[in-house]
Structures are given as C-alpha cells and as structure tokens.
Structure 1
C-alpha cells in the first residue's frame, strides 16, 4: 500500500498574493508532493496550505515552503485576527494512508531538525511529537503569541526543541508535530464578532476558563468578523471529529444563535475534510428527517446542503474530500472492459480470464438484478405498502453489487503469488522448502478469492427473498434471472475453491474451508429454490 502523509502548514501571510503564490509554487515543484488546497484569509492575514506526499517527499515539501517564508515573511509587520507566533506558524503532519501516527511524529521531528538547522529559527514539537506533556497542546505553546516570545524564550521550560534560544524577530517560532485530522470549520452568523465569540465560549472545550468549561469536547474556538464576507463567524478547530462531529457543532451554534436572536447562514470548511465526517453528517440528517438516501454522492450532497457549505464558496467534493483527491484509479482492467470486450476476452486463446472471473461477474449481475427490481418498486405509488421492505434491502444490494465487481479482476490475479513460488529456485533443501511455502500460500490466496465471491453473494439471499415476496410483479422474470445468476455465480466460485484445494497439504485448513464452502453452496441451492417457488405464486 502506498504511504500518504498530509501536511497542513499555516503561514502568517494572507494578503500578499505574490508571497502566497511563491510558497504554493515551492510545494508544487517538490517531487512527490501534490498541492491540494491554498486557502488565504484577508482578515486573519493567514494562509493554510494542504498537500500530500510520501514520508520522504512531504518533509522536502515542508522545507521548500519554509525557505520561501523565511525570505518573504517578516513577523515584525504582521497583524491579523488569528492567534500566531511565527511566519510558518504551525506545520502538522497527518497520517492519511498506510502511515501510523508514530511515523508521522518521526516525520515532524525530522522536519523540525532539518528546518531549524538550515533556517536558524526555533521549532517546538507538539501533539503526538511532544517530548513533554505540558507542550502537547498548541495553545499552550503559542501562549503570549509572537509579542510574548522574547520573554518566553528566556524561560528554561520553553526552550525550543530545535533551533536557537534567542528571539528571531522576523520569524518568531514554529510548532510542528503529528496529529489527528483536524477540521477547521467556520459557522456564519448575521451578527457581531462579540456575539460570535459568546457562542464560541459556550461551546469550546475550554469554555471561559477552569470554572466554566464549554459543552463540546475536542473543540477550540473563538468569534471574529470577516470583512470580505460581511459576516461574523464562530471559527473552530475540531481536533477529533469523531468526538465532536461537524453536524453537532453546527446544530449547537444554531441553538446558541437562536437564543441571541441572530441568524445562521451556512458554514465553511477551511481546507480539506475526511469523507467520514460528511457521511456522519449525512446520516445524522437522514435520521433526523427520516429520509431514505443510500448512495454516497447523494449523502454528500445532503450534508453540503444542510450545513450550508456552499454559502461562502462552492464546495466541490472532488477537490475538498481527501479520499476523493488521493484516490487512485482502480486496477480493474477486466471490469473496465465493455461487455462485448469482456466476453471476447473470456473466449480468447488464454486461460485467464476464466471460470473464476466469469463466476464473479455472473454473481454481480444476479445481485444487481435484485437491486434493480427493488429500486423500481420503491417510490411507486401502488406499492406504497411494501416501501419498508424495499428500503431495508436496497442499500445492502446496492453495496454488494459494487463489492462483487472487483472480484472479477481479483480472480485473474489470484495466481500471481503461486506462479512466483513456482519460479523460485529449488537447488537446496532450504530453497525447496521456501518454494513449497510460497506455492502453498499462493494456493490459499487463489482459494480465498472465489471463497470471498461466495461469501459476498451469500449476503444477498435474504434480500432477494424479500424482493420475490414484495417486489414489482412486472419484474418477476428479472428476479428469477437474478436468483439463478447468483446461484450460478456461487456455484462457479465453489468449483474454483475445489480445484485449487487439490494441492493444499494443510489438512486443518482444507477441512475448515471445504466445510464453509459446502455450507454456502447448499444455502445457495436452497435459497434460489425458495425464491423461484415464491415467484411461481405470482
């Protein structure tokens, strides 16, 4: 799996377009890094950059950006709404894919070490990279901000982790570390900055102090007025969106605003957002409003509309959701073929694709037909009495169809490990043993693919029975074909399990897998017959 790290440096410059672009270009020009977003703010006089890369490249990208900031930003001239203490104020590293938090903590420390040495400026480590507990939280490190740094640097407790002890007036200091995916989120209110700040104080975890904490955990926030939007904002950082999700913060701001008799006019996400956070919001509104939405793109649209994420600028999911941005095109050469080309490929003078890929495709068609009938029944006025049945089965069948499609290609590539084993040398006893183990592992992989097809297909039977009993009678033949296709696909996958099991020498594994496969096959015969019998009553 490719390792992907996200870096979100915040620079204390949001007004000089030349400097903003120069930093962006430095990131773009770093091999292995992809700049995803640049979000400058006039009132905050701050720009947030978001880019991704592998662990080595991400450090180089952050260094390249810091070099430009060292040359072009002078903190002696900086004023802005946002708390800050450095030209590169904060530079967090976030695990996205194939990377642990511990690895990101090491990346942050390597970056701090290299940047401090080259640029001769102080760096503090925070969050997962912090060496001391009292330095873990960013507000604690940044207390007193830029203006308080000269005095703070004389305190031994606040000696920088890397870089000089003396105050560097044109730079200040930088905090870098590893953290969870932080969501910078602003809710717009038609009110004053004081009203926005009152709401923030009521909600943020720190509240108004130790004796008066706020209601929401893992939330930092304040209120301000954004001149370019002509609105006040409750501006927050959601440190852990699983603890306090976006929708909860939004709903709580609406509640507080109502008490103050001010209007909420949507919200904005600054930078990039995880897919899960928007799906959580969608599920909240679906339950609250008793809606029926199961497709991911429609869920995203619902979340965007209910949270008013288009209120400041268009929210384009493909450019703002991290999983969509870094997604790689599926390696599915067979599933991507036209139906004609796929069939002709099966019929070519080659052993692959063969029965396994065909079985996965047939099973997917069977489940897909069931999904089609359910969707054609749902929403039709004369079938209103069966709507609950269709609402229950549609999401599962829709997702199972999507899960079965990749099995078409997975079956064709299942023998790669086995073939690699066959090609291994066998001159010595050790080489023979290594070759044998590799080939046995390859056979188990080849067995697991059709077995997975059987398991996925098996999940569809109860839903197909519901459709047979309550689906649109005009689609009777579609349900019949779907049931038979699914049974055939499972049967074909079963035959692939059996033929690959012949050379397996692990008796315990053999007995366990054969028992499961036989049970899945028996259930397929039984459920298909049950569906056909049910449909004969129509």
Structure 2
C-alpha cells in the first residue's frame, strides 16, 4: 500500500467568543480530519487544526473559510490580537516530503478582509503570562527576544494587555529545532522575568513539547483521528469482531487525544501508533491516508524520546525502530 502525502493546516479565525460560530466553522471543515479547536476569548481568535491528504484538506479549508466569511464581520470584531481577515491566516504544513507554493491576491473583502495562505514549517504558538511588568516593559521584552532583534533564533514575539490588567508575551517559535518553549522559559528565567501560566495555542509537536502541551500533542491528535476513523470503518463493516475492534479503537483514540508530554507516555504512544497500522491493515480498513497519519504520529513521538530514555528501554526502542524501518 502506498502511503499518501499528508498535510496539516491550522487556520486562524477571527472569532473566539461565540461558540456556535466556532462550532459551525469547525464542522464546515467537512471531509478533513479535525484534530483540535482552540479558542481564545481575549484575542477573540480560534485556531482550528485539521489534517488529511491534499484534496481532503483543500475541501475542508474551503468549507471552513466559506463559513467564516458568512458568519464573521470584521467591522464588529474586537480583540487584542491583530487581524486582517475573518479567516486571518491559513498556513499549510507538509507532514512528509511535499512542498507548497504561497498563494495570494490584492483585493480585500468588505466584511471578511483578507486570507493569508502560505506554506511553512511546523511552529509552536506559545504564550506566557508575565507578572510585575507593564505593557511598555513587556513590549520591550518582546522586541529583545525576537530573532529580528538579534534575540533568540526562530522567535517572533508580541506583548498584549489582557482584561484584568494581565500582560501576556505571545510568541511564534518557527525554528523549533533551535529554540523550543523550554529554551524560551530558560531565557526568561535567566533574565529574572516573573512568569505565570504558560499556554500552547493549537497543537505542539512532541519533540518541542513541555507540560504546557499535555493533551495537545500534534502526533497524539493525528493518531487519535486515525484510530477514530478506523473505528468508524470497522463499525460500518459490521460483525462481532469488527464491532469489538471499533470499541477498542475509540478507546485508543481517546487515549491518544489525552497524551501528555512525558517520556514514558510518548514512547508508549509511538509503540501504539505503529502497532495500529498493522491492526487496521489486518481488519482491512487501512488506506494510505490513515497509514500516513499513524506513521507520522509514531515517528514524531519516537523522535521526542531522549537518548537517556532510549537507553533505559533499549529493547523497546529497537523493536519500535524495526517496525518503523
């Protein structure tokens, strides 16, 4: 079976308060696999994570963007985050070896604004609440840690004042092979910055995950969506064995969705994702798309296992690597 090219997209919609609107936008993604919806009422913005093969993803994006255009009027929008459109930015991320070109146009829609569509590498959107600092100081801090100001590599940063006199440092970490959330926290601690809650916006690749990403691992959600789809297919086939397997797959899906950024949990998740490829194949419900999702999940979780953990579980690692070879 040929594994299909797989893509993720994380469109940012300018609505984070009206739950009925956010639910309608996510539902309109249609055939794409919905991995996550993450609204922020202060920013009045929601990040929706979807995945699938090229045609499935494009169809899902068109449905969700169309719903956003119908339901969001930027003339009435209020929120601390800058925006240019109802479907504000639509990044598309290859999960595999595919490449994409940027798209664009010069005209603005009267009520929906613009849609910024492009291809990029995986990034982590990471926010930190700051204490004992005002907005002016927070903006100076944001400027100082940006890559463009000779700060941390792969960091874009803004500062926002949130309701309740809270100040937030909002960052995109776009070179996660060089700067992870842990690196940012270490730098802020080195500078003596007083910090509160940490927040991952959307999903986080396991290799860059901290406890702030517990239950929000990209690979966990990919495996969850694949297991859930496999359960649906088993149920549609009918029969006692397929029905029992459907129940098991739905339990697996729930477990993958809750996967935490812990070494033992991520190794176990990698093993289970790799094993499910063979389970779905034996049940005759596997296709190239589900295989790609589970393989991406297993490989991503395996990559997050540190050498120290691998040394402790050498036999398990060798067996997993052989299965993924």
Which runs of structure 2 are paired with 1:136-151 in the superposition (5 Å)?
A: none
CA distance in 1, matches of 2:309, 2:36: 36
- Cα displacement (A) at 1:316: 3.2
* Alignment root-mean-square deviation, CA: 2.7
Q: 1:405 to 1:10 in 2, by over 3 A?
A: closer
Residue by residue over 1:510-529, the C-alpha shift from the partner in whole angstroms, topping out at 9 and shown as x without a partner, is xxxxxxxxxxxxxxxxxxxx
CA contact (8 A) 2:94 2:121 kept: yes
Asked whether the 8 Å contact 1:5–1:99 carries over to 2, the reply is: no
Equivalent residue, structure 1, for 2:81:
82
Matches within 5 A, 1:336-375: none
Aligned to 1:277: 208
> After superposition, where does 1:388-467 map in structure 2 within 5 Å?
395-396=310-311, 398-404=313-319
Uncovered stretches (5+) of structure 2, i.e. residues with no partner? 224-272, 283-306
CA distance in 2, matches of 1:244, 1:394: 21
Q: Secondary structure at 1:93's aligned position in 2?
A: strand
| Residue 216 in structure 1 maps to residue 156 in structure 2 | no
* Partner SS state of residue 28, structure 2: helix
Whole-angstrom CA distance in 2 between matches of 1:39 and 1:9: 11
The answer on whether the counterparts of 1:199 and 1:253 sit within 8 Å (CA) in structure 2 is no
1:202–1:61 Cα change, 3 Å = same
- Report the counterpart of residue 232 of structure 1 in structure 2: 167
Match of 1:47?
46
What is the TM-score normalised by the length of structure 1?
Answer: 0.42
Flag the structure with more relative contact order, 1 or 2, with Cα contacts below 8 A and sequence separation at least 6: 2
Instruction: Say which SS state the counterpart of residue 254 (structure 1) adopts.
Output: helix
Partner Cα separation in structure 1 for residue 320 and residue 78 of structure 2:
55
1:79-98 deviations in Å (ceiling 9; x for gaps): 221121111111010012x3
Which deviations, in whole Å up to 9, do the C-alpha atoms of 1:186-207 show, x marking residues without a partner? 112123333322211111123x
In structure 1, the residue matched to 2:196 is: 265
2:111 is aligned with 1:180: no
Q: Counterpart of 2:147 in 1: which secondary structure? A: coil
Match of 1:253 among 188, 203, 206: 188
2:221 to 325, 338, 341: 325
TM superposition score normalised by structure 2? 0.68
Identify the residue that residue 64 of structure 2 maps to in structure 1.
65
**Post-superposition offset of 1:184:** 0.5
Report the CA distance between 1:393 and its aligned residue. 9.2
Cα deviation code 1:219-258 (max 9, x no counterpart): 1111113337x632111111111122221111222233x2
CA deviation vs aligned residue, 1:396-430 (integer Å, no higher than 9, x gap): 361333423786x89xxxxxxxxxxxxxxxxxxxx
2:19 match: 17
1:316 aligned residue: 214
Q: Which structure's CA Rg is the greater one?
A: 1
1:51-74: CA deviation from partner (whole Å, max 9, x where unpaired):
111111000110000110111111
Aligned partners of 2:48 and 2:176: how far apart in 1?
A: 20
What residue is the counterpart of 2:142 in the other structure? 200
Could you say which residue in structure 1 is the equivalent of 2:250? none
Q: For residue 264 of structure 2, what is the aligned residue in structure 1?
A: none
- Call closer, same or farther: CA 1:326–1:169 in 2, change over 3 Å: same
Say if 1:68 and 1:405 are closer, same or farther in 2 by CA, change over 3 A.
closer
Name the counterpart of 2:130. 189
Q: 1:248 to 1:70 in 2, by over 3 A?
A: same
Aligned residue pair count: 246
Distance 2:184 2:142 in 1: 10
Q: 1:406 to 1:217 in 2, by over 3 A?
A: closer
Is this contact kept in 1: 2:80–2:162, CA < 8 A?
no
What are the Cα deviations for residues 257-312 of structure 1, in whole angstroms up to 9, with x where unaligned? x2xxx52124111111111113xxxxxxxxxxxxxxxxxxxxxxxx41xxxx2xxx
**1:394 Cα offset (Å):** 7.8
CA change 1:224–1:402 in 2 (3 A) is same
8 Å CA contact 2:107, 2:114 repeated in 1? no
SS of alignment partner, residue 76 of structure 1: helix
Structure 2 counterpart SS, 1:85: coil
In structure 2, the CA distance between the partners of 1:59 and 1:99, relative to structure 1 (3 Å rule), is: farther
What is the DSSP-based 3-state SS (H/G/I as helix, E as strand, rest coil) of the residue aligned with 1:89?
strand
Contact 1:187 1:235 in 2 (8 A): yes
Structure 1 ranges of 4+ moved more than 6 A: none
